[in-house]
Structure formats: structure tokens, C-alpha cells
Amino acid sequence: MTRVSRQSLLLLGFISFQQPSVATQTSKVTLEEAKTFAIANNFEVIALRREVEEMQAKARRARSPFYPKLGLAGGADTQMKGNGNEGAAVGYLYGSYNLFSGFEDTYKADIANYEVEKAEIRLRKAELGVGLEVERLFHLYLFNKFSLELLKRALDANELHRKMAKNRKASGLASDADVIEFDLRDSILKSDVSEKEVQLEESRVNLKRLLGEEIGAKIEPVGKLQHQHIKGSLMDYISRIKGESENVLVTTRELLIATTESKMWRSKWFPKVDFEMKAGFLPLENRPDATSGTGKQATALINGLIIAKLDLFSGFDNFWERRESESKRLKLESRLKQFILAAVTQMEIAYRKLKATEVRVHLEEQNEERATKYYNSVLSEYKRGVKNSSDLKNAAEGLYNSTLRSEGFKYDFLSQRIELEKALGGPVSVEVLPDRSKVGHE
């Protein structure tokens, strides 16, 4: 997403956050809005953006040796002669240009470009990490919200069952134990509601913290946990590791830098060729002698010089520099192989867990449907006097637990998908299946 589009979304999606907050104000926010806002305002991401700008400036600075250097000099020059002092005004334009540096400047420019790429990789990784953390907390909130709604529905159903038990007791068809059984469940459910309300508020506060302290309104994440299936095979994602894993990408750039550095020592075996030029009223020592007839006092000259320098002995500095750079390159080659192996292992574990959870989500949805049918059947038979209160309570508990498990495994799938994306360093392709849940999320 470009910086322009990000800012546009901020203005459209979070305009309510800029309004004066009141205690009862609630701002609804979608997952994409929350991710966009958090990425744009995260301090670490902002710092990494500045680092990218810094590296880009260094890369441009590394190109400066490819341009000539120009300047102006002025003053007065005096020479001691046997018959007195001789002086002259000095003012000239000077310039220099490196004609050949043994490719050292080219290598330095390449290294600076690799540093830019490293900074950009770290920035993309940080943006991905912030977005995934927002998504994790967002999903946690939706799961807690669903759990709370499910508890309240279970409370309503239990109250209905308790009234039915009281009516049967009044008719002599049930005992005090039947009513107490539903009273006990009512107390347990109310206790669970109290705990879940705390968990829901905690997940809201954590999400708000991640979005930024300036968010004054009470946010209300909207949406629902999706039933997703991952697309693509394990090999499809393993093949993406070299192009998306942060450790692999950063180490690859470091290896390129080390490889380039291992070539830089060769430049010291080549001569350095520079061109220097001065034009104007030069110092007296650079002017022709007066005996030549041209005169020193008012002579404007152009002085050009090509200089070649070659170090014949450097105290073995070149030798040890070559050994150092070559060892560094070999070290990074081994480290890169290790990172690729670790990423493949992590990827395979995360992928297999995700596929196993995908199957369990499907099975738990089927169990929820069976538990719903069973509960409806027991309720019908209870009304006809075929089933007793324990049967009805157990069927209601079974439906509650089955529904909660079904939603819980959807949440687990989404959490494990986030772990897979962290291991990969990029998003994975998913298919969203129709929601068959009987309890709304919003």
C-alpha cells in the first residue's frame, strides 16, 4: 500500500478519532482500518522509515565520486627575492576529477544500494509484523465477544429450562433437585459471564494500545471470525522463502555486500588516476618566470595536471584485508544456508498445523450441527415428559460447548495462519467459506 493511499484511509476511516472523546463515545473500526492506522503510527515503523531515508541519502552520497569537485580560491601571494619581496593577487577556479579508482567507487556505490535494500526489507517486515499483531488482537476480541454472547444466550436458555422445571415440579412431575440443577447452572454461567467481560475489555484495551495513545474513543471492532481454508501446497510456500523471509533476504544482501567487499581489495592493485585543473590568477610559484617575457603580475593561466598514484607496499594491509573479507563471505554463506533450513522447517511445521486445524474446524462445525439437532430433540421430548431435567441440562451444555469449540478452532486457525505468515514473511492465500454459525458475531 502506498503512503498516499494509507493517509487517505486514515482520513476516511478514522475521522471519528479526531473528534473530542467522551466517556460514552464508541468508534467502530474494521480490521483493515485498524491495521492501516497502526502501521502508519507505530513508532518502530516510523523509525525504520527514517532509516530507509537515511540509507537512500547515503547511497546517493556514495555516487559523489563520479562527479567533479569544483571550488574557488583567492588571496595574496608573496615571494622573498634577493632584492626584496614580490607580491601578487591570487584568484582562481580549481577542480578535480577522478578518472580511475580501480573500481573502488563503483563497489562502494553497490554496497550502499544493498544497504538501502536491507533497510527496505526491515521496514516491510516491521509493517507486516504490526499488521499481524493487530489482526491477532482483533481476532481475539471477536472471539471473546462471541463467547460472551454465547454465554448470555446460554443464560437465557437456562432460564427457560428452569421455568419449565418449576412448572413440572408444580405439576408433580419433577423434584426440587431438577430446579436446583438449573439454579446451579445459572450461577456458573453468570460467573463465566463476569470473567468473559473482563477478558473482552482486556482485549479491547490491548488493541487500543497497539493503535496508539491518541485514540481517545472507546473502539468497537466489528466483523466476525471467518471460516478459512488455506490455498496452495507446502512446496508453494517453501518456494517463496528465498524471496520473502526477512532473515533470508537480509542475509542475502549481507552476503552480496561481503562479496563486493571481497573484490574491493583488488582495486588497491590498480593505480589511482586523477585530473586536477586550476584556472585564473595562480600563486606565483605556478606562474611562468618573468624572464620568459610574459610577466607574473597580471598573468591569468590555466594549469591542468593528470596524476597517477600506485602504492607499492602497504605493510601487508591488502593481504589481510583479502583474508578478512573472504572469511566474512564464507561465514555469511553458511549462515544463509542455516536461515533457509530453519525457515523451511518452521514453514513446514506451521503449514501442517494449519492444515490439521482446518480439518478440525470442519469437523467441529459438523459436531455443532449434531449438537443443535440433539438439543432440539431432547427439548421436544422434555416437553412431552420423555426426557428428564438432567438430559435437558446435558444437551444444553453439549450445545454450548460444541458451539464454543467450533468458534474456538476458527480462532485457532486464524492465529496459526498469522504464525505461518510470520514464518513466510508475507501473506498466504485463503478461501473464505460460508459461515454456518447459529450465533451472530456483531
What's the CATH code of the domain at 167?
A: 1.20.1600.10
pLDDT of 9 higher than 60: no
Q: What pLDDT sits at residue 381?
A: 92
For residue range 343-374, what is the model confidence (pLDDT) as tens digits? Answer: 889 889 999 999 999 999 999 999 999 999 99
73-120 pLDDT tens trace: 877 777 666 666 667 778 878 788 877 777 788 888 999 999 999 999
Q: Write the DSSP symbol of residue 214.
A: T
The answer to whether position 343 is within a domain reads yes
What's the confidence (pLDDT) of residue 160?
A: 93
In this structure, the strands spanning 69-81 and 227-230 are unpaired
Round to whole Å and give the CA distance between 159 and 180: 12
pLDDT at 200: 93
* Residue 354 falls inside a structural domain: yes
The total number of residues shown for the chain amounts to 442
CA-CA distance, 97 to 436, in Å (whole number)? Answer: 74
Q: If you average pLDDT over residues 137-150, what whole number do you get?
A: 95
Q: What is the mean pLDDT of the chain?
A: 82
Q: Which residues contact 200 (CB under 8 A, 6 or more apart)?
A: 141, 144, 145, 148
Task: Tell me what the mean pLDDT of segment 1-24 comes to.
Answer: 40
Q: Do 132 and 40 meet the contact criterion of CB atoms below 8 Å apart?
A: no
Of the pLDDT bands very low, low, confident and very high (cuts 50, 70, 90), residue 409 is very high
179 inside domain? yes
Q: Name which residue leads in pLDDT, 275 or 293.
A: 275
Domain assignment of residue 58, yes or no:
no
pLDDT top residue among 427 and 305 = 427
What is the sign, positive or negative, of the torsion defined by CA atoms of 290, 292, 295, 300? negative
3-state secondary structure of 69: strand
13 confidence band (pLDDT: 50, 70, 90): very low
DSSP state for residue 430 in the 8-state scheme: E
235 vs 216, higher pLDDT: 235
Amino acid type, 426:
G
- What pTM was computed for the model? 0.77
Q: How would you class 59 by CB atoms within 10 Å of its CB: exposed for 0-12, middle for 13-18, buried for 19 or more?
A: buried
- Better pLDDT: 206 or 217: 206
The domain total for the chain is 1
Taking a C-beta distance cutoff of 8 angstroms, is the pair 295, 323 a contact?
no
Q: Is residue 22 part of a domain?
A: yes
Query: Where residue 188 falls among pLDDT bands split at 50, 70, 90?
Result: very high
Write down the pLDDT at residue 442: 33
Task: Give the pLDDT of residue 114.
Answer: 93
Does residue 141 fall inside a structural domain?
Answer: yes
What is the CA 13 to chain-centroid distance, rounded? 21
Looking at residue 441, its pLDDT comes to 35
Whole-angstrom distance, CA of residue 362 vs CA of residue 136: 21
d(CA 389, CA 381): 11
Per-range mean pLDDT, top range of 78-87, 271-280, 299-308:
271-280
CA distance 84 to 31: 88
Residue 150 falls within a domain, yes or no? yes
Q: What does the DSSP 8-state code read for residue 196?
A: H
pLDDT bin (cut points 50, 70, 90) of residue 209 is: confident
Edge-to-edge strand order for the sheet containing 69-81? 69-81, 84-100, 272-281, 301-309
Q: Does residue 64 belong to any structural domain of this protein?
A: no
**Residue 340 sits in which domain range?**
3-41+104-271+323-433
* Residue 2, pLDDT score: 41
Whether 420 and 241 have beta carbons less than 8 Å apart is answered as: no
